[in-house]
Amino acid sequence: MLLNLLLIVIAYLLGSIPSAVWIGRKFYGIDVREHGSHNAGATNTLRVLGPRAALPVFGIDILKGFVAVTLSHLTRYDDPAYIAQFGNDALFNLKIALVAAAVIGHILPIFANFKGGKGVATLTGAVLGVYPAAVLLCLVVFIIVFVSTHYVSAGSMSAGIAFPIFVIGLFGERSLSLIIFSCLIALLLLYTHRKNIRRLIDHTESKIYLRGNKNKQPQ
pLDDT, one tens digit per residue, over 146-186 is 999 999 999 999 999 999 999 999 999 888 888 999 999 99
Alpha carbons 43 and 118: distance in angstroms, whole number: 10
The residue among 92, 129, 123, 132 whose CA lies nearest residue 105 is: 123
Alpha carbons 14 and 8: distance in angstroms, whole number: 10
Alpha carbons 31 and 148: distance in angstroms, whole number: 30
pLDDT, one tens digit per residue, over 48-99 is 999 999 999 999 999 999 999 999 999 988 777 777 776 678 888 899 999 9
Q: What is the mean pLDDT of residues 9-18?
A: 98
Q: Computed from CA positions of residues 207, 59, 137, 183, in that sequence, does the dihedral angle turn out positive or negative?
A: negative
Alpha carbons 143 and 166: distance in angstroms, whole number: 16
- Kindly tell me if the per-residue pLDDT of 216 is higher than 50: no
Is 144 in contact with 126 (CB distance < 8 Å)? no
Q: Dihedral angle at the C-alpha atoms of 153, 27, 108, 201, nearest 10 degrees? A: -20
Locate the domains of the chain by residue range: 1-130, 132-219
Alpha carbons 145 and 143: distance in angstroms, whole number: 6
Alpha carbons 158 and 146: distance in angstroms, whole number: 9
- Kindly tell me if the per-residue pLDDT of 12 is higher than 90: yes
Residue 33: what residue type? Answer: R
Q: Please tell me the pTM assigned to this model.
A: 0.87
Distance of CA 158 to the CA centre of its chain: 14
Q: Which helix (H) or strand (E) element contains residue 54?
A: helix 51-70
User: What is the number of other CB atoms lying within 10 angstroms of the CB of residue 163?
Assistant: 26
For residue 143, report the phi and psi dihedrals to the nearest 5 degrees: -60, -45
